[in-house]
Amino acid sequence: MNQHYALKTGRLSSHGAILRFLRRLPREARLLDVGTATGYFGEALRQDGFRHLDGLESDGHTVASATRFYETMVHADVESAELPWPPGAFDAIICADVLEHLRDPCGALRRLRSLLAPAGWMIVSVPNVAHWSVRLRLLAGRFDYQPSGVLDEGHLRFFTRGTARQLMSQAGLTVEWEAVTPLPIAHWINGSPWSPLLRAVEYLDWTLARMRPGLFAYQLVLAGRVLAGGTMPCRAAR
């Protein structure tokens, strides 16, 4: 994971949505944080009272700083390494801002799915490449990578709302909960004297995202459980 990633503290952010969802679970739940980066999400979960939290991170530069927030911290590639946990080890697995960085997100989700307890949750967040801002760029003939955001230079895969849900199904998961996020306007200009107005604009954008997620959702947050019918063939999202 890129080191510039940090906890998104806004209540309308993807991290805010994931934390609100996880607060439904008992604090004894066993959680796996995939793509810990510096451990910012693990720290927030600890502050929320979760006691059984493991981490998985492929970037050796961030593992050391993340270790203190997890009972077990594993430095490995989720796509290829042999994972040390037994089947059914976790009540929830979190893939926040992870799948878009992988070569084979469907294969990775299938590997992780085997680690879920029978009633466990797989929680993922991905950017929406069909967001109106990307569509406008395409109309102008531009598809320029950025340091962060939907077109982050580290993204290998791109998802719409439909293909994100399809990915979950192909990995043998049925989506039972969904949240959307607006453009993180207030986060980008935090501290501006215009912040109250811009937060109101952000809230309006969030309302539009809930009404028309395919066009206005900046990020998608999905929570799914193991699908009784098994898996379907993986087809790569582009």
Q: What is the pLDDT of residue 173?
A: 97
Q: Which two tokens stand for residue 146?
A: 């950025």
In words, the CATH class of domain 14-226 is alpha beta
C-beta neighbour count of 137 within 10 angstroms: 15
> How confident is the model at residue 1, as a pLDDT?
44
- Tokens 């799914």 belong to residue: 224
pTM: 0.91
Predicted pLDDT of residue 149: 87
So what's the pLDDT on residue 2? 42
Per-residue confidence in pLDDT tens, the chain, 238 aa:
444 566 776 788 999 999 999 999 999 999 999 999 999 999 999 999 999 999 999 998 899 999 999 999 999 999 999 999 999 999 999 999 999 999 999 999 999 999 999 999 999 999 999 999 999 999 999 999 988 889 999 999 999 999 999 999 999 999 999 999 999 876 666 656 567 788 888 899 999 999 999 999 999 999 999 987 666 667 654 4
DSSP letter at 67? G
Q: How many angstroms separate the CA atoms of 182 and 209, rounded?
A: 6
pLDDT of residue 199: 82
Going through the chain in order, the beta strands assigned E by DSSP cover: 30-34, 52-57, 72-75, 90-96, 116-127, 173-181, 219-226
> What pLDDT score does 207 carry?
96
**Domain locations in the chain as residue ranges:** 14-226
Among 176, 80, 62, which residue's Cα sits nearest to residue 123? 176
